[in-house]
Structure 1
Amino acid sequence: MSELIYNDLSQVAEQFREVLENGVNRKVKNQILVFAYNGTGKTRLSMEFKGLGKVSTIRPANIMDGVTTPLEVEDTTRDTLYFNAFTEDLFSWDNDLDNDQQRVLKINPDSHFFDGLQELEMENRIRPLLQRYADFDFQIDYSNWTINFKREIQNESGSHETIEHIKVSRGEENIFVWCFFLAVAQLAIDGQEAYNWVKYLYIDDPISSLDDHNAIAVASHLAQLLRDNTTIKTVISSHHALFFNVMWNELDGNKKLQPYFLKHDKENQQYKLRYTNSTPFFHHVALLEQLHEAVINDNLYTYHFTILRSILEKTATFHGFKNFSACIKQGDDDPDGILHARLINILSHGNYSLFEPMEMTEENKEHFRRILNEFMDNYRFNPELFPDGSVQQLSTEQ
């Protein structure tokens, strides 16, 4: 497929709907995965897509409407349940500035996002999802449309107590909203009557405010939700290379996924959409740039081994090797490459804390620098992206 060029984002949204409705080359597509850098217009694209499914009609008023005037009323139908920056805006804080005690998160009662909130026992649906990521609990006040967050702590006497009305961090709030969305999306997929209007899910950058190491957990969880879904079609967009890569690997097996790279040509005021075929090379380059920068800044965390493993695995597959260890240079102190392969195996499968990423030990940092440096020496990349000798120099100096 050649590069497609559009004059505005509305045309791109129309293309997405065409693909999801009619497929590509007579092949049905249930999911679209889009990689685009920040500033491209991903959020605006999601709203354009939503807007295309919003239809307003005028009909005569009747007694069931509870009005005698006006003589006509407007009905609005929609077909897209979306997650983006606007979804987060459906929640706002009341910090109880007068007393600084009853801090709650307010819910916008006018949004269809909250249809059937109480009847569907949303707390019981959200809580198991939230417990995967966070150590706080919550309670919904359905009469006041507010959420009270609480956390159990151990006091000085050693007993446990629950602190009510806590102000959770921005990251914790984001993950709560994300879990709220997942619970609603599951209801839509299951055909719950309150969400029978949902024909499409549009998910834009669900981890935009979270650390890199959460990409794998969030992407894998989302893929589990979508993998066997045949009723609702989905668009997922992200600027996060690792998140994109995991989503591709998790969903590509159903052969109903259409991946794209979206670019904004500011000079010509055009949007360019390119089919990425198999796992696209530029994501690996982007990942390498992330690792390279982490090494240069000595900002290495254990989850960077997960990123490195992903790159090694794809490189091994491309070159016809059965195991990623084939891409690790064998040194005099490790002639079979067993030590470094085992190190990557162990450190790429950790159960990492969501809000407390673990910094590598100095010994592991040295191993990481060495593996990365020798890999980049062995497989040539554009030197303009990676200043010559910087990783090698840092590795030998520290």
Structure 2
Amino acid sequence: MINHHETIESLADDVLQSLADSRSALIYAQNTTGKTRLAQHLKDHDPEGVVLYNSSVEDVFTWDNERVVLQMNVKSELLKTIETQGLDGAIVDTFQAFTNDKIEPSIDFESGEVSFGIHKGDDSSADGIKISRAEERIFVWCVYYSVLSAAIDTLRDSPDLRLSEDYDGLTLAVIDDPVSSMDDVRIVTVALALAELIKRASGLNVKFLITTHHALFFNVLFNSLRRSKKGRAYTLLRGPAMGWTLKSQPHDSPFSYHLGIVNDIELAISGGSIQRSHFNQFRALLEKTANFLGYAGGWGELLTGPDAALLTKVLNLYSHDRFSDVDSSEVSEEYRDALKGEFHEFLRTFRWEGAA
């Protein structure tokens, strides 16, 4: 199946249609394609029926280096649910399961702060420790995951036995790239836990849409969900013209998808039309190739030309830009030249089809 859509509304309708006879849909797409817009549109279209994880959820939390705490916006819908449902203990348990069970979060809704400590019962114990960026992301994911898990458990009870009616309207969980900044071990852990949660929801009128640009996350979820024969998988492309292409993905590795990325970047270079989106496409290509070839040091090892250090910095900058889903032509000549040189060096070194 290959469907082209001129509008985000049409794309969303197609995705919802694919969920009519399946429990989940998994979409692989690089940054700037529009997956974040798709996720937000689905939430805006059905605020009561959709529970959304995306960068907006991450924005609810801000790390304070001076006080060494994670500040929370307690007015957010998600945090209100945590407080009213008493899910703070579940968040702590989930966080410790995904990370180090010696690190213990302490959630204070009155102050709107989360502090972290190591409690071993000896002199090495400490309060107010600074956690890594990856651990911060995992904590935020645990907040969402704990709410979603509680919702599934509640809906599995018969209506007359449910302790809360807060989840009765839930029909769709939309999860947009939850594994940014996580290492491979934690990415696998999160993917497997999410797959198990989806399986627990079997028999309920709750569907799941997961979008990601991370090949390993896609791979683990694909294999976990397709065993049930109730999951759909796709790749999402956005070409130089307006619109999106949603294509069925029959295999657990979307590697062939990246041949299209090579063509897109080559056309942009030859036509002098390099945009920020092409930098994100190149990073996605590097990530997949590094995973495929087993480079333990990550995608940066695949950049071997004279501008490797500069391009690594630019790829990191553009990939983590909070507005990365918006194309921009504001790219300096220095950055464009670095992309050209390193891209062609990459094609030659790794012998991609059609490389110069």
| TM-score, length basis structure 2 | 0.67
What CA deviation, in whole Å up to 9, does each residue of 1:287-344 have, x standing for no partner? Answer: 772147765xx8379xxxxxxxxxxxxxxxxxxxxxxxxxxxxxxxxxxxxxxxxxxx
The answer to whether the Cα contact below 8 Å between 1:245 and 1:283 also exists between their aligned partners in 2 is no
Task: Report what 1:274 is aligned to.
Answer: 247
1:112 maps to what in 2? 77
1:214 to 179, 182, 186: 186
Aligned to 1:198: 170
Distance 1:263 1:284 in 2: 9
Counterparts of 1:121 and 1:283, CA distance in 2? 46
The change in CA–CA distance for 1:50 and 1:116 in structure 2 (over 3 A counts) is closer
In structure 2, the residue matched to 1:87 is: 57
1:246 to 220, 238, 252: 220
Secondary structure at 1:150's aligned position in 2?
strand
Contact 1:103 1:148 in 2 (8 A): yes
Aligned equivalent of 2:136 = 173
Q: For residue 289 of structure 1, what is the amino acid of its counterpart?
A: T
Tell me how far apart the structure 2 counterparts of residues 17 and 389 of structure 1 sit (CA, whole Å): 39
* Partner residue in 2 for 1:234: 208
What's the secondary structure of 1:86's corresponding residue?
A: helix
Structure 2 residue identity aligned to 1:53:
D
Deviations 1:159-204 (A, max 9, x none): 3354223332211110111111111110111235333332210111
Please show how residues 373-392 of structure 1 align to structure 2 within 5 Å.
Answer: 387=348
Task: Tell me the CA shift for residue 143 of structure 1.
Answer: 2.0
Report the Cα distance in structure 2 between the residues aligned to 1:169 and 1:252, rounded to whole angstroms: 33
Runs (5+) with no aligned partner, structure 2:
155-163, 259-284, 300-344, 352-356
User: Aligned in 2, Cα 1:272/1:114: closer, same or farther, shift over 3 Å?
Assistant: same
> In 2 relative to 1, CA 389–181 (structure 1 residues): closer, same or farther, beyond 3 Å?
closer
CA distance in 2, matches of 1:92, 1:204: 19
Cα pair distance change 1:145/1:283, threshold 3 Å: farther
Cα 1:293–1:252 change in 2 (3 A) is closer
Report what 2:289 is aligned to. Answer: 289
Change (3 A) 1:291 1:203: closer
Give the residue type in structure 1 aligned to 2:108.
D
One-letter code aligned to 1:140: I
Q: What is the deviation of 1:218?
A: 1.6
* Shift, 1:89, TM fit: 0.5
The residue number in structure 1 matching 2:231 is 257
Take 2:11 and 2:216, find their aligned partners in 1: how far apart are those partners? 24
Aligned partner of 2:27 among 31, 34, 54: 34
Aligned-residue offset at 1:283: 6.3
May I ask how many residue pairs the two structures share in their alignment?
267
Match of 1:48 among 41, 44, 65: 41
AA paired with 2:138? Answer: I
State whether residues 69 and 128 of structure 2, in contact with CA within 8 Å, keep that contact through their aligned partners in structure 1. yes
Higher share in helix: 2
2:95 maps to 1:130: yes
**Greater RCO, 1 or 2 (C-alpha within 8 Å, sep 6+):** 2
Structure 1 pair 199–164 and aligned structure 2 pair: CA distance change class (3 A): same
User: 1:30 offset after TM fit, Å?
Assistant: 1.4
Q: CA deviation at 1:261?
A: 0.6
Return closer, same or farther for 1:172/1:137 CA change in 2, 3 Å cut-off.
Answer: same
Does the 8 A contact of 1:202 with 1:234 survive in 2? yes
Conserved? CA contact 2:50–2:174, under 8 Å? yes
Q: For 1:247-279, what per-residue CA distance to the aligned partner results, in whole angstroms no more than 9, with x for missing partners?
A: 0100112211111110011x2111111111343
Distance 1:186 1:168, change over 3 A: same
- CA distance 1:291–1:142, change in 2 (3 Å): closer
Q: Rate the CA distance shift 1:389–1:145 in 2: closer, same or farther, 3 A.
A: closer
Match of residue 281 from structure 2 = none
SS at match of 1:268: coil
1:228 CA drift (Å) = 2.9
* Contact preservation (8 Å) 1:91, 1:105: yes
Matched to 2:34, the amino acid is: G
Q: TM-score, normalised by structure 1?
A: 0.60
- Alignment CA distance shift 1:288-1:278 (3 Å): closer
Identity over aligned pairs, percent: 29
Deviation at 1:51, TM superposition (A): 1.0
**Which structure has the bigger radius of gyration?**
1
Q: Deviations over 1:63-104 (max 9, x none)?
A: xxxxxxxxxxxxxxx211111111101112344xxxx4x432
Assess, with a 3 A threshold, how the Cα gap between structure 1 residues 30 and 108 changes in structure 2: closer, same or farther: same
SS in 2 for 1:277: coil
Q: What's the Cα RMSD here? A: 2.9
